[in-house]
Structure 1
């Protein structure tokens, strides 16, 4: 085994060149976010004074081990942490200048799925087992755009085709349990992207998939991001994925940001001891 950093592929050069100018206003900003889970006998400070931002067309990776606070941070963007026991104890989450933590549920409902969408790690817990998958994709459009049932169905079929689902007309009529894990995740991506959101938050989107399907899903996300110029916040513990797909990285530990910066800079010259330990723990094949 070797402690060398994960080697980025050729896609990183193109991603680096297309990074937005530093003076452009971020599309999504998290500023001083603190999230508590107030239980009967204790309070868990899951997220503590976290700040990060992402520009249009940029991929920001948030990394850390389980329990580091990265998923709680991601779910906070659309206030999806269960409340109670979750309490947003401080900070702001600004999208296009509006603080999402201050919006009413009705106002936030207009943002969810239309401006900001999420892809979760287990589609079986997010897809309705009693509804056909195509209906679930089409419902996003009917809710946000007022499309007719026929128009929404045609757009949903196009979305299923765009994410590489074979025979979209057949899959449209099927239920989640009739699809493989990889196809279910593609349905989740189609559902997230069908309304053309400006920000996609992907929370460990490949964790439950085998290695081959993981690569297909990650390549798909990169392709669709470039096609639609989305900002992507990628939550992951896989540093090899970060090296290949992200522009910048935020490293979290025990609910706090311990390091942030350009991916190549952080991987080449990690400043924090925790980041160095993460990089050292990354499995590497010995050179032949």
Structure 2
């Protein structure tokens, strides 16, 4: 008999409710989502019947290897997959009682970056290299809150300061290439949070950052979530990050959800063979004789 894998160290993990939906009222629900990419000679069924929910103040982790469909499903929330070749072939994404897959583009534009924000996985390419970083944070308030130029600038500086950007007044005037990877990621987080969203989707927010900066970014997200009470959807392949930051976890494989539940439940008693394989593949530091 193959022994059960030892779960990653849990750290300050917060056990969530048992398998299934969150015990609290969800602020965002994905229901039976199907996403296809229709290419010249084939159709790729990237997301197949995916469902999950997240409540205010809760962190839901969506995990799986590259190509499992976790990013495609996350981008679908704000319809950011390129259309074409992407086709939303079925399901609903409910936010504030509305199906985001069927609402008009103008209304969806008011939700993007306002009520629902996203931190993308590569801070090196996600910022406009031709605009000062402060301007990119301020434009969120100009677009979503109708703030004046002076009001948006003041709030953007405050947002940069809140996410730990040193000397925020000076950094406001700099361009992305003048900042380190860690500072660029903090700018991305500031831009995502300055509009006080109800939901933050963080897609591999520590990609390409060294381990020290990764720790700082994750701690920052936890602190800001507690401060503002927002729901967080964390897309990652790092089970150690999930153990330390998430309440519940959704495990995806080949475009489908294969297991879901509270983090401790899933890590200590994995039911699906794919989940057990992911846990067994997690590197560990162990003493040898």
Q: TM-score range by the shorter chain?
A: over 0.9
Is 1:110 matched up with 2:74? no
Structure 2 unaligned regions, length at least 5: none
- TM-score normalised to structure 2 length: 0.95
Instruction: Report the aligned-residue RMSD.
Output: 1.5
Following TM superposition, by how much is the alpha carbon of 1:126 offset from its aligned partner in structure 2, in angstroms? Answer: 1.7
* SS of alignment partner, residue 13 of structure 2: helix
| Number of residue-to-residue matches in the alignment | 282
Structure 1 or 2: larger helix share? Answer: 1
CA distance in 2, matches of 1:274, 1:104: 38
* Per-residue CA distance 1:176-207 (angstroms, 9 max, x = gap): 00000000000000000000000000000101
Q: Map 1:53-68; keep pairs closer than 5 Å.
A: 53-68=53-68
Following TM superposition, by how much is the alpha carbon of 1:4 offset from its aligned partner in structure 2, in angstroms? Answer: 1.8
Match of 1:6 in 2: 8
CA distance in 2, matches of 1:16, 1:280: 22
CA distance in 2, matches of 1:16, 1:108: 31
List structure 1 segments (4+ residues) > 2 angstroms apart after TM superposition: 21-25
Q: Return closer, same or farther for 1:63/1:22 CA change in 2, 3 Å cut-off.
A: closer
Is 1:242 matched up with 2:248? no
Q: Map 1:43-54; keep pairs closer than 5 Å.
A: 43-54=43-54
Following TM superposition, by how much is the alpha carbon of 1:40 offset from its aligned partner in structure 2, in angstroms? Answer: 0.2
Following TM superposition, by how much is the alpha carbon of 1:62 offset from its aligned partner in structure 2, in angstroms? Answer: 0.2
Structure 1 unaligned regions, length at least 5: none
CA distance in 1, matches of 2:264, 2:96: 28
CA distance in 2, matches of 1:22, 1:139: 34
Q: Map 1:245-284; keep pairs closer than 5 Å.
A: 245-284=245-284
* Per-residue CA distance 1:254-277 (angstroms, 9 max, x = gap): 000000000000000000000000
CA distance in 2, matches of 1:173, 1:229: 30
Q: Map 1:165-180; keep pairs closer than 5 Å.
A: 165-180=165-180
Following TM superposition, by how much is the alpha carbon of 1:69 offset from its aligned partner in structure 2, in angstroms? Answer: 0.2
CA distance in 1, matches of 2:238, 2:155: 33
Following TM superposition, by how much is the alpha carbon of 1:287 offset from its aligned partner in structure 2, in angstroms? Answer: 3.6
